[in-house]
């Protein structure tokens, strides 16, 4: 529906305030306060309805013919994990949808363009044909901020090919319990790694100037303590494999909250991040969305964050059974923009009522809108010639480009961690014998990519065009005639098999659906490893997973073990290491448990006894 909206040139509004201050080109980070004069001039012209409209973010798929955008002066549109334009999920359908939404915004009285937000979490990961980079769990093992900054720049270009000016990334969570379904969104269990790499991604995404049309607004999330929730198993009484961690309660003292979970926000803010998303989770029983101390005193006060604070998807309603009360609590706590995918109209009505009744001070509304307008000004959206149309030349030059695939392949090989390599089984390049390849992930692009890929939960199989599976990459690197792809390990019997590769791991998942009480390999994958071991075939286990899995017998049955995490579309990067073109250099960014009952397991624990410690990682020839 969005793409059917007419797209046309819009005359610049002469009355629109002009930027009076330009940020320093050489500045390392975007200075948002430099845009206060522009923001304040526009704020002064706004009615209460226009202000509250700016504070509201609606979901594209709820917006129908888009007329609500101008009628309600909406400040932002989002596309959630499974949301696509009505015209489909092609890059051009997205660019059309973006242009149409911006044109709709320019029909409003003050013609304030939109922030258009999407979860470009590992590349422009909602859009068919984009390069899918490794999830953060793998990037954390590279310990390479330059590489991650480059990934940020590449991602920004692919996002801008669709016009979109805001990504809900990076996630700077510090996951402390790997049973949590969002562990892979975090770079590490170690706050310093999360801070350094999160800041690098922000620099890459945002650049030094947000009005550079090759960059996008970043969003550090989820503030704060999302990775520290306390397990309360089982989440589903009929399924003992489940555990309630997602959106739970982080029961730690303030010193721990600051040392572990708040720490990455300092470098993120120093890098100039323009937005922060608040966590669904609670801190000692109080939802972060309604926590004035955390949002206003700590984030905006002590940490001097000048950008906008957005609530998570429908999170405001979680702060109170009564929606009006929930809105009052959240806005008064310091939420500036409300992610209200479907109930945006109701949100506007109730917030207006709260302001008129004096229950939300107008000064709070002005602070929220000033922050939103600052960010818009920094993005070049409030000047005389706002940047509101997708630059379609980027579709040809950048979207899914060979250069980005090469970058992703480099990131994949740098993220691989060689956990074990008995008898120097790896690399497999030498020899002329045949290599048996099996396991649930051997030929599965969707499993390589994980959740938040095309769909919210991801999917098995050929989820997106482009990219290569590990099997296809092995065939290319070693020659198809040397590769035997088999359904299980038994095919090795009586064959001239030099070695076997079992690619095992987790099916895709996202958020609470990934909460998992036992983190086991599937019985079928375990059996393949067991059978190969029994047949005396040297076996390398390659793991595709969003977190360390409990290996059970596979820890001893497999001769070599490689953690490949969720590498994305460029399976060739895995084979670069398996076949020996590149030696592994990755270091674990999470401690690897011996058994699931060790969780939560983190470096610095008193009785720290992991199977492989944080930082572990072997290489070849040593
Ligand atoms: C997630 C956020 C995400 C948002 C928008 C929520 O369910 O918690 O991380 O940015 O959806 O898709």
Distance CA 17, CA 350 (A): 30
Distance, CA 520 to ligand 1 centroid (Å)? 27
- Ligand 1: atom nearest CA of 171 is 9
pLDDT value of residue 430: 78
399 lines ligand 1 (CB under 6 A): no
Decide the pairing of beta strands 560-563 and 417-421: antiparallel
* Spatial separation of the C-alpha atoms in residues 363 and 604, rounded to whole Å: 44
Contact 33, 27 (CB under 8 A): no
* Cross-strand pairs, 420: 561
Ligand 1: atom nearest CA of 456 is 12
- Cα(557)–Cα(408) distance, integer angstroms: 31
3-state secondary structure 19-62: CCCCCCCCCCCCCHHHHHHHHHHHHCCCCHHHHHHHCEEEEHHH
Q: Please give the C-alpha separations between residue 166 and each of 118, 137, 252, 279, 500, in angstroms, as whole numbers.
A: 6, 22, 32, 18, 44
Q: Is the CB of 168 under 6 A from ligand 1?
A: yes
| Strand order across the beta sheet in which 115-118 lies | 166-167, 115-118, 76-79, 56-59, 338-339
The closest of 226, 280, 232 to 250, measured between CA atoms, is 226
* Residue 190 Cα to ligand 1 middle (Å): 23
Output the pLDDT for position 232: 78
Domain boundaries, the chain: 48-76+274-383, 402-598
pLDDT of residue 242: 67
The CA distance from 251 to 317, in Å, is 22
302's CB contacts (< 8 A; 6+ apart) are none
Q: How far apart are CA 174 and CA 180, in angstroms?
A: 11
Q: Is 189 in the pocket of ligand 1 (CB under 6 A)?
A: no
371 Rama sector, left if φ>0, alpha if ψ -120 to 50, beta otherwise: alpha
Residue 189: CB atoms within 10 Å: 27
User: Which of 120, 168, 225 has most ligand 1 atoms within 8 Å of CB, for mutation?
Assistant: 168
The reported pTM is: 0.95
Q: Residue 323, by phi and psi: left (phi above 0), alpha (psi -120 to 50) or beta?
A: alpha
Decide: 313 in ligand 1 pocket, CB within 6 A: yes
Best residue among 219, 313, 458 to mutate for probing ligand 1's pocket (most ligand atoms within 8 Å of CB) is: 313
As annotated, the active-site residues are: 312, 511
How far is ligand 1, taken at its centre, from the CA of residue 312, in Å?
6
Counting beta carbons within 10 angstroms of the beta carbon of residue 212, is it exposed (0 to 12), middle (13 to 18) or buried (19 or more)?
Answer: middle
81 lines ligand 1 (CB under 6 A): yes
341 lines ligand 1 (CB under 6 A): no
For domain 402-598, give the fold. Answer: Rossmann fold (3.40.50)
CB 119 within 8 A of CB 369: no
Residue 80 Cα: closest atom of ligand 1: 12
For residue 13, CA distances in Å to 105, 382, 500, 607 come to 13, 10, 66, 65
Phi first, then psi, for residue 261 (nearest 5°) are -95, -30
Instruction: Please state, in angstroms and rounded to a whole number, the distance separating the CA atoms of residues 74 and 55.
Output: 7
Ligand 1 closest atom vs CA 79: 12
Nearest partner of 412 among 180, 620, 250, 569, judged by Cα: 569
Q: In what order do the strands lie in the sheet with 249-250?
A: 249-250, 282-283, 286-287
Summarised one tens digit per residue, pLDDT across range 446-467 is 999 999 999 999 999 999 999 9
| Distances, alpha carbon 191 to alpha carbons 265, 309, 345, in Å | 10, 21, 39
Dist. CA 202 → ligand 1 center (Å): 18
Residue nearest to atom 10 of ligand 1 (CA): 168
Instruction: State pLDDT tens for residues 553-604.
Output: 999 999 999 999 999 999 999 999 999 999 999 999 999 999 999 999 999 9
Q: Which of 81, 127, 181, 221 has most ligand 1 atoms within 8 Å of its beta carbon, as the pocket-test mutant?
A: 81
Kindly give the parts of the chain with pLDDT less than 70: 1-28, 233-236, 240-242, 492-495
Our answer on whether the CB atom of 140 is closer than 6 Å to any ligand 1 atom is: no
Residue 55 exposure: Cα atoms within 13 Å on the Cβ side: 32
Question: Is residue 159 within 8 Å of 223, Cβ to Cβ?
Answer: no
- Any atom of ligand 1 within 6 Å of the Cβ of 119: yes
Q: How far apart are CA 620 and CA 622, in angstroms?
A: 6
Residue whose tokens read 């051997």: 442
Cβ–ligand 1 contact at 166 (below 6 Å): no
**Candidates 1.10.1740.10, 3.20.20.300, 3.90.1150.10, 3.40.640.10; correct CATH number of 48-76+274-383?**
3.20.20.300
């Amino acid at each position: 529906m969005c793409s059917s909206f007419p797209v046309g040139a819009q005359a610049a509004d002469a009355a629109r305030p002009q930027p009076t201050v330009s940020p320093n080109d050489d500045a390392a980070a975007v200075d948002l306060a430099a845009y206060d004069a522009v923001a304040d001039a526009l704020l002064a012209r706004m009615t209460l309805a226009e202000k509250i409209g700016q504070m509201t973010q609606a979901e594209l798929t709820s917006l129908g013919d888009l007329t609500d955008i101008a009628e309600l002066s909406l400040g932002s549109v989002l596309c959630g994990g499974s949301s696509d334009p009505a015209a489909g999920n092609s890059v051009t359908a997205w660019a059309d949808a973006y242009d149409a939404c911006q044109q709709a915004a320019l029909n409003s009285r003050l013609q304030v363009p939109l922030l258009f937000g999407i979860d470009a979490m590992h590349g422009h990961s909602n859009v068919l044909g984009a390069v899918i980079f490794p999830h953060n769990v793998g990037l954390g093992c590279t310990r390479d901020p330059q590489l991650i900054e480059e990934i940020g720049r590449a991602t920004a270009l692919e996002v801008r090919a669709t016009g979109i000016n805001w990504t809900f990334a990076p996630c700077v969570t510090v996951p402390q319990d790997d049973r949590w379904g969002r562990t892979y969104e975090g770079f590490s269990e170690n706050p310093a790694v999360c801070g350094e790499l999160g800041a690098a991604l922000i620099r890459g995404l945002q650049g030094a100037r947000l009005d550079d049309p090759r960059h996008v607004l970043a969003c550090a999330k989820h503030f704060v303590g999302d990775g520290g929730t306390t397990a309360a198993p089982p989440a589903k009484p009929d399924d003992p494999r489940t555990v309630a961690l997602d959106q739970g309660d982080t029961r730690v003292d303030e010193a721990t909250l600051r040392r572990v979970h708040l720490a990455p926000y300092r470098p993120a803010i120093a890098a100039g991040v323009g937005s922060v998303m608040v966590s669904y989770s609670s801190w000692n029983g109080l939802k972060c969305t309604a926590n004035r101390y955390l949002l206003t005193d700590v984030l905006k006060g002590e940490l001097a964050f000048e950008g906008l604070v957005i609530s998570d998807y429908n999170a405001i309603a979680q702060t109170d059974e009564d929606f009006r009360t929930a809105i009052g609590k959240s806005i008064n706590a310091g939420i500036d923009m409300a992610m209200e995918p479907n109930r945006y109209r109701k949100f506007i009505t109730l917030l207006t009522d709260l302001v008129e009744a004096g229950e939300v001070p107008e000064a709070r509304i002005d602070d929220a809108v000033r922050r939103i307008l600052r960010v818009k000004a920094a993005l070049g959206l409030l000047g005389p010639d706002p940047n509101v149309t997708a630059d379609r030349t980027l579709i040809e030059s950048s979207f899914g480009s060979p250069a980005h695939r090469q970058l992703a392949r480099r990131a994949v090989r740098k993220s691989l961690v060689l956990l074990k390599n008995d008898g120097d089984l790896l690399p497999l390049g030498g020899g002329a014998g045949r290599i048996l390849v099996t396991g649930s992930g051997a030929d599965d692009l969707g499993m390589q990519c994980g959740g938040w890929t095309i769909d919210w939960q991801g999917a098995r199989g050929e989820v997106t065009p482009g990219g290569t599976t590990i099997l296809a990459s092995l065939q290319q690197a070693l020659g198809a005639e040397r590769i035997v792809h088999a359904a299980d390990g038994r095919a090795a019997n009586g064959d001239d098999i030099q070695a076997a590769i079992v690619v095992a791991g987790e099916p895709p998942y996202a958020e609470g659906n990934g909460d998992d009480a036992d983190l086991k390999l599937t019985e079928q994958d375990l059996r393949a490893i067991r059978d190969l071991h029994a047949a005396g075939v040297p076996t390398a286990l390659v793991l595709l997973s969003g977190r360390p899995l409990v290996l059970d017998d596979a820890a001893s049955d497999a001769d070599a073990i490689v953690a490949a995490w969720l590498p994305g579309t460029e399976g060739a990067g895995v084979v670069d290491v398996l076949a020996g073109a590149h030696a592994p250099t990755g270091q674990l960014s999470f401690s690897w448990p011996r058994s699931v009952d060790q969780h939560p397991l983190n470096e610095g624990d008193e009785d720290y006894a992991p199977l492989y410690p944080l930082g572990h990682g072997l290489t070849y020839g040593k």
